[in-house]
Structure 1
Amino acid sequence: MDALLVKEYRAGIVESTHYGHICIVNDQGEVYGSAGDPHFVTFTRSAAKPLQAIPGIRAGIADYYGLTEEEIAIMAASHLAEPRHIEVLENIQRKIGVDEEQMVCAPTYPLSEDSKEHTIREQGRKRRLYHNCSGKHLGVLGYSRMRHNPEETYAEPDHPAQREILDVIAMMSGMETERIGLGTDGCGFPVFALPLSAMANAYVKLACPDLIPDEPTRTAVRTITAAMNHYPAMVGGTRRVDTFILQDPNIVAKGGFKGVYCFGLKKERLGIALKILDGSEEEWGWVVESILEQIGYDNRRLLEGLRSEFTKDIYNDAGRKVGHAETVFTLERSR
C-alpha cells in the first residue's frame, strides 16, 4: 500500500498530498525499516550515476586521462551547468579528446536559472554540455575511447560499456541481470527498473565498500564516493539536496528524476531508497530530514541545516508565507 509521506497546507487547508515508498536496508541486505512497500519497483534514473561511473574508474580512466577529483565527481552528477560545472566539463572534454556533438544527450539550456539567463543573453544557444547528464556521457565516451570500443554507439544497451554497467548494477544491487528491467532514460542511456530494496542495497555498498567482494570495484567505489564528498557542488549545485548532504562525509547520496532519491550512511551501515509517486522532487529534503531524525542520526548540525535550507514554509511569488508542509510518515522497523 502507498504511504502518505507529505501534506501541504495553505491557509490551514490541505492542498496537496504526496504518497510514496521508502526502504532502508542494513549491511546484510535485510530490510531495516520502511514506509509503504519496501520492494516497490521503479526506475533508478540519475540515482544510478555513481554506479554507472564504476566501470570506467575501475578500468583506470582517471590515471589514463589524468582526471581530477572534481572531474570524477561530475561524472556522477546531475549538474546545473553553473560556470564551474562547465569549466570542469570542458576540461574533461579536452583531456579525452571527444567532440561535444558525439554526446547523444540533447542540447539544452542550463538548469540553473542564473546560468540560463546568462547563456541566453550572451550566447543565445543550447549546448549538449549544458545537459545535466553530460558528465556521465563524457565518462562513458572516454572509457569507450580508452578501450577502443565503438564511440558512435556508446549509449546503446548492447555496447560493451553499457553491458558492463548492467553487470555492475546487478552486482551492487544483488539482482540477477535478467530480472532488471531496462528502459531509456531522458538523456538516451539505458535506465534500470529495480525494487527500492535493491537500490538501497546498492547504496549500502557505496557507503560501505568493504561489502563488495571484488577488490578493483571496491577501489573504484572509494574513488568515486570520495570525489563526491570532497566536491559536493559538482554533483548537484546551488540549493540541491545532493550537494547539501554530501558535505557530511558520512553520507553518499544521489537523486534521480521523477522523485527517486537514494543515500547510504557509512557509520550506521544503512542504505536508503525512496520514491515520491507523483514524481516531485521538492519533498526530498523534507523526507530525508525526517528519515534521519527517525533513525536517530547524530549529526544534529546536518539536521538543523536541512530544516533551514529546505524549509517547510510555503511562500507565494512575492515571498509572503502562505502555508506549510508536514512530513506525516512513521518508519516501520523490521524485526
Structure 2
Amino acid sequence: MESLLVKEYRAGIMECAHHGHICIVNDQGEIKASAGDPNFVTFTRSAAKPLQAISAIRGGIASHYGLSEKEIAIMTASHLAEPNHVEVLKSIMKKTGLSESELVCAPSYPLNEESKEEVLRHNGSRQRLYHNCSGKHLGVLAYCKMKGYPLEGYAEPEHPVQQEIIETVSMMCGLEPQQVGLGTDGCGFPVFALPLSAMATAYAKLACPERIEDKATKEAVITITQAMNRYPEMVGGTGRIDSLILQDTNIVAKGGFKGVYCFGLKKERLGIAFKVLDGSEEEWGWIVEAILSQIGYSNRDLIEQIREAFTHDIYNDAGKKVGLAETVFQLKS
C-alpha cells in the first residue's frame, strides 16, 4: 500500500497530494524503517549513475587517462550543462580522444536556464555534450576504448561493458543479475528495475564500502564517492538537492528522473531510497528533510539549509506566496 508523502495547499485548500514509498536499510541490507511498500519495484533512472561508474573506475580509467576528481564526479552526474560542467566534459574528451559524435544521448540544450539562454543568444544549437547524462556516457566510452571493446553499440544491454555494469549493479544491490529488470533509459542506456530495498542496499554500500567484499570494487566506490563529496556541484548543479546535501561528507546521494531518489549515510550506516509515484521531483527536498529529521540526523545545519533552499512556501510566477506544502508521512520501524 502506497503512503501519502506530501500535501500541497493553495488558499487553504488541498490542491495536490503526492503518494509514494520509502525504504531505509542498514548496512546489512535489513529494512529498518519504511513508509508504504519498502520493496516497491521501480526504475533506478539516474540514481544508478554512481553504480554505473564503478566498472570504469575499477578498471583503471582514472590513472590511464589522468582523470581529475571533477571528471570522475561528473561521470555520476545529471548535470545542467552550466559552464563549469561543459569545461570538465570537454577536458574528458581531450584526455580520452573521444568525440561528441560518439555519444548516443540525444543533442540537447542545457537544463540550466541561464546557460540555455547564453547558447541561444549566440545562435548555438543543441549538443550531445549538453545532455545531462553525457558524463556517464563519456566515462563508459573511455572504459570501452581502454579495454579495446567496440565503441559502437556501447549502450546496448548485450555489449560487454553493459554486461559488466549489470553484474556490478546486481552485486551492489545484493541480487543476482537475472533478478535485475531491464528497460531503456531516456539517454539510451539500460535502466534497472529494482525493489527500493535493493536500491537502498546499494547506497548503504556506497556509504559503507567496507561492506564490499571485492577489494577493487571497494576502492572504486571510495574513489567515486570522495569525488562526489569534494565536487558536489559537478553531480547536479545550481539549485539541485544532490549538490546541496553532498556538501555534507557523511552523505552519498543521487536522484533520478520520474521521482526516484537515493542516499546513504556513512556514520549511521544506512541506505535510503524513495519513489514519488507521480514522477515529480519538486518534493525531493521536502522528503529528504523530513527523513533526516525523523531519524534524528545530527547535522541540524544541513536540515536548515534544505529548509531554506526548498521552502515549504509556494509562490506564484510573480513571487507572491500563494500556498504551502507539508510532508505528512511517518516512518515506521
TM range (shorter): over 0.9
- Report the equivalent of 2:169: 169
- Say if 2:115 is the partner of 1:148: no
Aligned-pair identity (%): 70
Aligned equivalents of 2:285, 2:224: Cα separation in 1: 23
Instruction: Work out the number of aligned pairs and report it.
Output: 333
Moved over 3 A (4+): none
Cα deviation, residue 179, structure 1: 1.2
1:113-192 matches, within 5 Å, as 113-192=113-192
Aligned equivalents of 1:132, 1:14: Cα separation in 2: 34
1:1-335 matches, within 5 Å, as 1-333=1-333
Letter in 2 for 1:188: G
Letter in 1 for 2:73: A
Aligned equivalents of 1:179, 1:164: Cα separation in 2: 15
1:141-193 per-position Cα deviation (integer Å, ceiling 9, x unaligned): 00000001000111110111100000011100011111111000000000000
Cα deviation, residue 123, structure 1: 3.4
Could you say what secondary structure the match of 1:8 adopts?
Answer: strand
Could you say what secondary structure the match of 2:151 adopts?
Answer: coil
Letter in 1 for 2:160: P
1:44-101 per-position Cα deviation (integer Å, ceiling 9, x unaligned): 0000000000000001000000000000000000000000000000000111101101
**Which runs of 5 or more residues in structure 1 are unaligned?**
none
Could you say what secondary structure the match of 2:273 adopts?
Answer: strand
Cα deviation, residue 118, structure 1: 0.5
1:92-126 per-position Cα deviation (integer Å, ceiling 9, x unaligned): 01111011011000000000000000011113300
Aligned equivalents of 1:12, 1:170: Cα separation in 2: 46
Letter in 1 for 2:67: L
Aligned equivalents of 2:207, 2:123: Cα separation in 1: 41
Greater CA drift, 114-123 or 15-24: 114-123
Aligned equivalents of 2:144, 2:176: Cα separation in 1: 25
**Which runs of 5 or more residues in structure 2 are unaligned?**
none
1:15-37 per-position Cα deviation (integer Å, ceiling 9, x unaligned): 00000000000011100000000
Aligned equivalents of 1:203, 1:9: Cα separation in 2: 33
Aligned equivalents of 1:249, 1:64: Cα separation in 2: 27
Could you say what secondary structure the match of 1:90 adopts?
Answer: helix
Aligned equivalents of 1:242, 1:174: Cα separation in 2: 24
Cα deviation, residue 230, structure 1: 0.0
Aligned equivalents of 2:124, 2:71: Cα separation in 1: 26
Aligned equivalents of 1:195, 1:11: Cα separation in 2: 38
Cα deviation, residue 249, structure 1: 0.2
Aligned equivalents of 2:54, 2:231: Cα separation in 1: 17
Greater CA drift, 190-199 or 171-180: 171-180
Could you say what secondary structure the match of 2:135 adopts?
Answer: helix
Could you say what secondary structure the match of 1:332 adopts?
Answer: coil
1:186-208 per-position Cα deviation (integer Å, ceiling 9, x unaligned): 00000000000000000000000
TM-score normalised by L of structure 2:
1.00
Cα deviation, residue 10, structure 1: 0.2
Could you say what secondary structure the match of 1:194 adopts?
Answer: strand
Aligned equivalents of 1:72, 1:29: Cα separation in 2: 27
| RMSD value, Cα | 0.4
TM-score normalised by L of structure 1:
0.99
Letter in 1 for 2:259: G
